[in-house]
Chain A
């Protein structure tokens, strides 16, 4: 009942959404997709290949970020091992 009351009292855009900490990771792909679409759209003469180009850029961003995260993790692990 309290959950229902809370839900009814929630006003979108005014009250923040209570996101769990794990949601932080899953909020990255939609933003990366938007960045890929805008970046590709600024380079597109026609929109024929925009979808394909956007998807390629999106995959590049996600893989690139994953590799950066992996590198940072390895540097962190090595620093811990050396100390």
Chain B
């Protein structure tokens, strides 16, 4: 019965960390670690979105590999993608079409194209802000993968970290 409980706990801890960094550790009772993981992952993610703006930074149609890395922090990335689709008059796909000058955008009437570009202008980040935003967001997402693995391991080992190794009692006695 106990191993099943531990497995459930491991899955829940991993999923909670994926949804919100630090939540899995909080669930396991490691409140201080939860705060550390939460701050060290949420702050860079929010910095990335603040520097780059949500329309171009959290957009799977503009850079799918970057978005894949961002999805390491699944709850935050999904929330900001929903925000992206809600604000600014253009959804994520239309935003990507305007920025990449997709044929569907090129074929639109000139007046409509001008209006779309004017609508989008305040939301678009340029170099160096766009680069910095991408690096911050990707790193935050990838760091959360480490946090997910750590939460799952601590759930399985009763609080010990991934790389913790302990000598067996016999070896300790010999030493």
| Chain A residues within 8 Å of B, Cβ to Cβ | 9, 12-19, 21, 23-24, 27, 30-31, 34-35, 37-39, 41-45, 47, 50
Contacts and interface: CB of A to CB of B under 8 A. Distances in A.
Contact of B139 (A13, A35, A41): A35
Interface string B20-53: 0000000000001100110011011011011111
Main secondary structure of the interface of B (DSSP, over half): helix
Contacts of A19: 51, 128-129, 132
21 contacts: A13-B53, A14-B123, A15-B53, A16-B53, A19-B132, A27-B132, A30-B44, A31-B139, A34-B44, A35-B139, A38-B143, A39-B146, A41-B33, A41-B147, A42-B146, A42-B150, A43-B164, A44-B33, A45-B160, A47-B36, A50-B36
**Tier of interface size on chain B:** 35 or more
Interface string B147-158: 101100000000
Contacts of B110: none
Contacts of A31: 44, 135-136, 139
A77 to B, nearest CB: 24
A37 B161 contact: no
B36 A13 contact: no
Contacts of B136: 27, 31
A14 B55 contact: yes
B72 to A, nearest CB: 12
6 smallest CB-CB distances across A and B, nearest first, come from A16-B125, A16-B53, A37-B40, A42-B150, A24-B128, A34-B40
A18 B129 contact: yes
Interface of B: 32-33, 36-37, 40-41, 43-44, 46-47, 49-57, 80, 83, 87-88, 122-133, 135-136, 139-140, 143, 146-147, 149-150, 160-164
A45 B150 contact: no
Nearest to B163: A43
Contacts of B123: 14-16
A23 B128 contact: yes
